């Protein structure tokens, strides 16, 4: 059973002992650490300013790092310990026995003319298909959908502004991608300097998800483990992390 993901209303599925699964640890905003089989993948490290002002800097031990953009809230990779391998351009990379694909989208609704490109990262780790949409703001086209496929876990921004999806656009992305689990990212939290952060909170998105009769759960912590055999056979689970133990004291 995956930790803190499935509740008593979701059936337990046949165990596959050969598949370890992946542990997903939220570090704030759109920064996550994915760990499985001894490989640690860090996504979108940030500088603690603006919407991330009160979060601890995500300077964690990692082997590989995916970057969605060079903006400070998604691409602050300088000074990371362990000298990890960085992936900052679109394309296919085969590293540590994992194939990563960076898919070009836009960080605004104007073909990238305001905030440039955004990279969506796709890979499979621990038998779980992961799709991290970074700070996407552009619609998902047919060709992009083919490249993205149908993920087990999709990490989708929901906080709005000119740079990322708003709650309604995030819901549309869920309809297109049909992930088994969706984790919202890039929204207003208690870790923000509210005077310097224009994002909306998670509440409007959760209201839309509940109206669509999705299974919504707010977790008590910032980490969960997902195994392929525990994923639901249909529908999308919405799982929201808690930021309280990520904040500077």
Pairing of strands 153-157, 85-87: unpaired
Indicate the helix (H) or strand (E) that contains 118: strand 117-125
Please give the chain's pLDDT, 249 residues, in tens.
444 444 433 333 333 334 689 999 999 999 999 999 999 999 999 999 999 999 999 999 999 999 999 888 888 888 899 899 999 999 999 999 999 999 999 999 999 999 999 999 999 999 999 999 999 999 999 999 999 999 999 999 999 999 999 999 999 999 999 999 999 999 999 999 999 999 999 999 999 999 999 999 999 999 999 999 999 999 999 999 999 999 997
Q: Is residue 227 part of a domain?
A: yes
Predicted model pTM:
0.92
Check residue 9 and give its pLDDT.
Answer: 37
For residue 19, what pLDDT is reported? 64
- How many other CB atoms are there within 10 angstroms of residue 141's CB atom? 11
Task: Identify whether 87 is part of a domain.
Answer: yes
**Which tokens is 40 given?**
């640690």
From CA 93, how far away is CA 67, in angstroms rounded?
13
Q: Is 106 inside a domain boundary?
A: yes
Residue 1 lies in a domain: no
Whether 119 and 147 have beta carbons less than 8 Å apart is answered as no
Range of the domain at 169: 22-246
Note the pLDDT of residue 12.
35
* Structural domain contains residue 240: yes
Is 89:83 a contact under the CB 8 Å cutoff?
Answer: no
- CATH number of domain containing 150: 3.60.15.10
Q: Tally the domains of the chain.
A: 1
Look at phi and psi of residue 188 and say left if phi exceeds 0, alpha if psi is from -120 to 50, else beta: beta
Q: Which of 120, 182, 110 is nearest to 145 (CA)?
A: 120
Residue 126 lies in a domain: yes
Within-domain flag for 61:
yes
């Amino acid at each position: 059973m995956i930790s803190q993901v499935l509740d008593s209303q979701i059936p337990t599925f046949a165990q596959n002992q050969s598949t370890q699964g992946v542990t997903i640890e939220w570090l704030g905003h759109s920064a996550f650490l994915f760990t499985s089989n001894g490989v640690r993948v860090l996504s979108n490290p940030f500088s603690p300013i603006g919407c991330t002002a009160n979060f601890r800097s995500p300077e964690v031990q990692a082997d590989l790092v995916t970057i969605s953009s060079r903006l400070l809230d998604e691409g602050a990779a300088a000074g990371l310990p362990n000298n990890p391998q960085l992936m900052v351009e679109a394309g296919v990379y085969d590293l540590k026995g994992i194939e990563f694909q960076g898919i070009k989208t836009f960080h605004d609704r104007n073909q990238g003319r305001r905030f440039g490109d955004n990279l969506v990262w796709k890979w499979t780790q621990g038998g779980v298909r992961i799709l991290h949409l970074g700070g996407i703001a552009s619609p998902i086209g047919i060709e992009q959908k083919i490249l993205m496929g149908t993920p087990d876990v999709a990490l989708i921004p929901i906080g709005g502004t000119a740079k990322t999806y708003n709650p309604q656009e995030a819901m549309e992305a869920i309809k297109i991608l049909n992930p088994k689990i969706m984790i919202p990212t890039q929204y207003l939290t208690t870790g923000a300097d509210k005077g310097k952060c224009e994002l909306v909170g998670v509440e409007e998105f959760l209201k839309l998800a509940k109206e669509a009769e999705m299974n919504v759960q707010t977790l008590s912590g910032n980490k969960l483990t997902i195994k392929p055999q525990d994923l639901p056979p249909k529908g999308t689970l919405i799982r929201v992390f808690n930021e309280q133990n990520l904040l500077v004291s």
